[in-house]
Amino acid sequence: MTVIGKTIAIANQKGGVAKTTTAVNLGAWLSLMGKKVLLVDTDSQGNATTGVGVDKNSLEKCLYDAIIEGVPLREIIVQSAVENLDLVPATIELAGAEIELVGVPEREKILKAALSGVKDDYEYILIDCPPSLGLMTINALAAADSLLIPIQCEFYALEGLSQLLNTFKMVQQRLNSSLVLEGVLLTMFDGRTNLSIQVVEEVKKHFRDKVFKAIIPRNVRLSEAPSYGKPVMVYDRRSRGAEVYRELAKEVMGIE
Ligand code: ADP
Ligand code: MG
């Protein structure tokens, strides 16, 4: 089956749940498996940008220029350090974008419009969302075919989830009726703690077959890799973190 421009928003308004880690490593594995992938960084912190080896200081343009200035995305896309993985970078400039968009007509669909020009060039488009349910995340959901929710296996993991699901439903009803839930990804699992095990059970009870079989363990290699500007499988291919993100990539591609 050929996939064209399948767009997955990776969102959760909580910070530190592994949205960016997932966007970078899922994107990198899909591209290493031969898929043409575009990673879209919509967080002004630009962690996904750095995480795939792009120096923010070297950039002339970023996503800001596409959504505020109307620059075609093709002029903004850069190559990452990973073959077949392109990037729409984000810099701190993006921080003011949400406010600048107030009053702009169709402001929830600006990212969708920008992506429409390049969708056919890629098999997968992954959107790394900021830690909020603001206009940027709404834009991501409006542009996406599906939502992937990372959930950290920690206390308070499920807090705030109903707000995220309400936003998901609102977008389905008002902006993007074809949006579906891709799946829920359990992250930073620590099998030595009862808490991690409880969170897994709780999430499975709620989301059933929508929970990815791949459960991402806490793995120090995953947290070290970004400081080298490398996805984990480039940094340490044999690490457990690399292995499990590979399993996730296969699930997303529909091969078990
Ligand atoms: P978010 O984008 O949701 O804010 P990040 O992907 O930036 O979250 O992850 C938050 C922090 O946790 C980062 O420092 C990251 O390197 C680290 N991290 C993410 N996943 C794991 C993991 N499975 N094991 C260990 N550290 C992780
Ligand atoms: Mg992030």
Instruction: Please indicate, yes or no, if residue 24 is contained in any of the structural domains.
Output: yes
Instruction: Please indicate, yes or no, if residue 66 is contained in any of the structural domains.
Output: yes
- Encoded tokens for 76: 């903004």
Instruction: Please indicate, yes or no, if residue 1 is contained in any of the structural domains.
Output: no
For ligand 1, which residues put their CB under 6 angstroms from it?
Answer: 15-21, 47, 131, 187-188, 216, 218-219, 222-223, 226, 241
Do 51 and 229 touch, CB atoms closer than 8 A? yes
Per-residue confidence (pLDDT) for residue 158, from 0 to 100 = 87
- The fraction of the chain above a pLDDT of 90, given in percent, is 94
Per-residue confidence (pLDDT) for residue 1, from 0 to 100 = 66
Q: Which residue has the higher pLDDT, 64 or 158?
A: 64
Do 64 and 57 touch, CB atoms closer than 8 A? no
Helix (H, G, I), strand (E, B) or coil at 189: strand
Half-sphere exposure of 190 (CA within 13 A, CB side): 11
- Which pairing describes strands 180-187 and 37-41: parallel, antiparallel, or unpaired? unpaired
Do 184 and 252 touch, CB atoms closer than 8 A? no
Instruction: Please indicate, yes or no, if residue 174 is contained in any of the structural domains.
Output: yes
Q: What count of other Cβ atoms lies within 10 Å of the Cβ of residue 163?
A: 11
Mean pLDDT score of the chain = 96
Cα–Cα distance, 18 to 185 (Å, whole number) = 9
Q: How many domains are there within the chain?
A: 1
One-letter amino acid for residue 69 of the chain: E
Indicate whether this model's pTM tops 0.95: yes
Per-residue confidence (pLDDT) for residue 157, from 0 to 100 = 84
Mean pLDDT of 153-174: 93
Instruction: Please indicate, yes or no, if residue 144 is contained in any of the structural domains.
Output: yes
Mean pLDDT of 81-85: 96
What digits encode the pLDDT tens for the residues 15-38?
999 999 999 999 999 999 999 999
Test site for ligand 1: of 21, 43, 244, most ligand atoms within 8 A of the Cβ: 21
CA 14 to ligand 1: nearest atom: 3
Does residue 256 surpass a pLDDT of 80?
Answer: no
Instruction: Please indicate, yes or no, if residue 71 is contained in any of the structural domains.
Output: yes
Instruction: Please indicate, yes or no, if residue 171 is contained in any of the structural domains.
Output: yes
CATH number at residue 197: 3.40.50.300
Instruction: Please indicate, yes or no, if residue 36 is contained in any of the structural domains.
Output: yes
User: What residues make up the domain containing 94?
Assistant: 6-253
